[in-house]
């Protein structure tokens, strides 16, 4: 948590292994063990602050595409579809299954719905840990509360969620386990 420019995203990028510029030093440990980049990438997900989706596909098609790209080939079609359905329910997108994603602030999903789709696209890869860069950024209080409920639902599945947050309301701050 911190003001713009405090280094929240930079720190999270380093922890997630996404930082490509500059240099970092020191060690990153997970549960006391040194982080191994090659295995960490397979067990982690990352939701960027900007929600980038193809506007000409539906919510369901977005999730199918992500699942086909990111789940192991050993996962059969039936299991993959069941997992997609579970994720849609978890992030409360089932009613928007056939909705076109559309263009931001022009057509399709609202900003809050796009945030939930971004989370869902990462969750279909079945990560153990998921990083979220300012998931409530640009949302009003109601929309932020809905996104935080989605994040809480994600945590309740046993996944670890690491978030950056700019200026949370007291309600948003209270929904975090640790700050």
Question: What was the pLDDT predicted at 168?
Answer: 82
Does 113 have pLDDT greater than 90? yes
Question: What was the pLDDT predicted at 151?
Answer: 93
Pairing of strands 44-47, 129-133: parallel
Dist CA 87 CA 172 (whole Å): 22
pLDDT, one tens digit per residue, over 32-73 is 888 888 888 888 999 998 889 999 999 999 999 999 999 988
Cα distances (Å, whole numbers) of residue 106 to 16, 80, 140, 150: 32, 32, 18, 24
Contact 15, 9 (CB under 8 A): no
Q: Give 72: exposed, middle or buried? Use CB within 10 Å, 0-12, 13-18, 19+.
A: exposed
Question: What was the pLDDT predicted at 166?
Answer: 81
- 88 or 38, greater pLDDT: 88
- 128 or 19, greater pLDDT: 128
Instruction: Tell me which residue of 166, 165, 164, 161 sits closest to 177, measured CA to CA.
Output: 161
Question: What was the pLDDT predicted at 80?
Answer: 94
Sole residue written with tokens 């329910």:
89
Domains of the chain (ranges, CATH numbers): 8-174 (3.40.50.300)
Does 24 have pLDDT greater than 90? no
Pick the range with the lowest mean pLDDT from 120-124, 140-144, 163-167. 163-167
Dist CA 114 CA 136 (whole Å): 11
Sole residue written with tokens 């006391």:
32
Does 115 have pLDDT greater than 90? yes
- Place 85 in a pLDDT band, splitting at 50, 70 and 90: very high
Strand partners, 160: 129
Question: What was the pLDDT predicted at 4?
Answer: 85
Does 173 have pLDDT greater than 90? no
Question: What was the pLDDT predicted at 46?
Answer: 94
Does 105 have pLDDT greater than 90? no
CB atoms within 10 A of CB 151: 24
Instruction: Tell me which residue of 131, 100, 133, 128 sits closest to 114, measured CA to CA.
Output: 100
Q: Please report, in angstroms and rounded to a whole number, the separation of the first and last CA atoms in the chain.
A: 8
Question: What was the pLDDT predicted at 38?
Answer: 81
């Amino acid at each position: 948590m911190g003001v713009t420019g405090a280094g929240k995203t930079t720190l999270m990028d380093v922890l997630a292994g996404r930082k490509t510029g500059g240099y970092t030093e020191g060690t990153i440990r997970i549960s006391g063990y040194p982080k191994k980049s090659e295995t960490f990438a397979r067990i982690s997900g990352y939701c960027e602050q900007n929600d980038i989706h193809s506007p000409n596909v539906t919510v369901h098609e977005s999730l199918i595409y992500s699942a086909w790209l990111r789940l192991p080939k050993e996962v059969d079609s039936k299991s993959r579809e069941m997992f997609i359905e579970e994720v849609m329910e978890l992030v409360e997108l089932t009613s928007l299954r056939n909705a076109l994603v559309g263009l931001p602030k022009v057509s399709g999903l609202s900003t809050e719905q796009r945030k939930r789709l971004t989370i869902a696209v990462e969750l279909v890869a079945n990560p153990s840990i998921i990083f979220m860069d300012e998931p409530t950024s640009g949302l009003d209080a109601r929309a932020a509360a809905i996104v935080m409920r989605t994040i809480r639902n994600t945590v309740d599945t046993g996944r670890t969620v690491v978030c950056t947050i700019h200026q949370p309301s007291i309600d948003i701050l209270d929904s975090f386990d640790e700050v």
